[in-house]
Amino acid sequence: MIFDGLDARLDEVPGTISVYAGRLGAPPTWTRHAEVTHYAASTMKLAVFAAVHHTAETDGPDLDTTIEVTNLFTSARAGAAPFSCAPAYDNDTEVWDRLGQRVPLRWLAERMIVRSSNLATNLLIEHVGLPAVAEIWARVGARHSVTRRGIEDFAAREAGISNLVTAADLAALLDAVATGVTRPGPIASPAGCAAMLDVLCGQQIRQDIAEGLPAGTRLAHKNGWVRGVRHGAAVVFPDDTAPYLLVVCTTTSLDDDQRSQDTDADARELVADISAQVWQARHDLTTADLR
């Protein structure tokens, strides 16, 4: 089996390492703990992104509709006060610079992906609603992933309301977007899926999976990380063979802040290394190697 050596090496890594690798629209070539749930971090933004596009094509309003940029959101915990998110924990200043202004949904959706904007994410969840995001997971056949609250909804977090993903479910969502470009799929029209794929290919935080690929390789990518968690989910488009899916989710227990910093660097390097190994085997991603 082409990934036996890598699988054995990952057995020695502390924490839980989940992987899904395989061609689009086909059974996976290699899976490792692909049905195990992880805290979603910013990979939950993929489901919100898909929900915004699906809603725009069904019961609207369309993506050019403008909404006001505010920083007060409905908590997922019943009876809790509205909450806000903090700019210090955001990777994008552009949405914050537009507080009090009206901006298109399309622009917010792009900032949510290419710069992983937390403020844009909460605005879009407020717009489409959490049930619309849950519908996306159901439409792609996700078995365990859930998006149950916005970012920094601490009241909901304290009540045990969390966002979870699996490598297999993230792969199913990306597969639906990528294959939906050429045929009608469960999320959006071919034109809508093509627009989504273009945004994902415009990812500016090119870490983990991207770092394991040759420079200039096209990929549609979303990553996410918080203390003890580092994930990458991508469709990779080699020039010399068919595109493939790669999702890596890592979760590690931490003891202190220094351990957190060291472990995140290690996890980022590990995801990049897995990406490099899968890239080397890209021509052989055909025969199922399930475990």
Here the CATH number for the domain that contains residue 237 is 3.30.450
What is the domain extent for residue 85?
Answer: 39-165
The pLDDT of residue 261: 60
For 88-123, letters b (16+ CB in 10 Å) and e give eebebeebbebeeeebebbbbbbbbbbbbbbbbbbb
> Based on the domain organization, do 148 and 263 belong to the same domain?
no
> Based on the domain organization, do 56 and 138 belong to the same domain?
yes
Q: Within a domain: residue 221? A: yes
Total residue length of the chain: 291
Q: Within a domain: residue 233? A: yes
Q: Within a domain: residue 103? A: yes
Q: Within a domain: residue 192? A: no
Ranges of residues in the chain whose predicted pLDDT is under 70: 1, 254-262, 287-291
pTM: 0.95
The pLDDT of residue 60: 82
> Based on the domain organization, do 137 and 216 belong to the same domain?
no
> Based on the domain organization, do 290 and 209 belong to the same domain?
yes
The pLDDT of residue 289: 42
> Based on the domain organization, do 153 and 45 belong to the same domain?
yes
> Based on the domain organization, do 76 and 146 belong to the same domain?
yes
The pLDDT of residue 190: 97
> Based on the domain organization, do 28 and 84 belong to the same domain?
no
pLDDT tens-digit map of 184-230: 899 999 999 999 999 999 999 999 999 999 999 999 999 999 989 99
Position 98, amino acid: R
**Pair 42, 225: CB distance under 8 Å:** yes
The pLDDT of residue 254: 60
Q: Within a domain: residue 13? A: yes
Q: Within a domain: residue 115? A: yes
| Domain total in the chain | 2
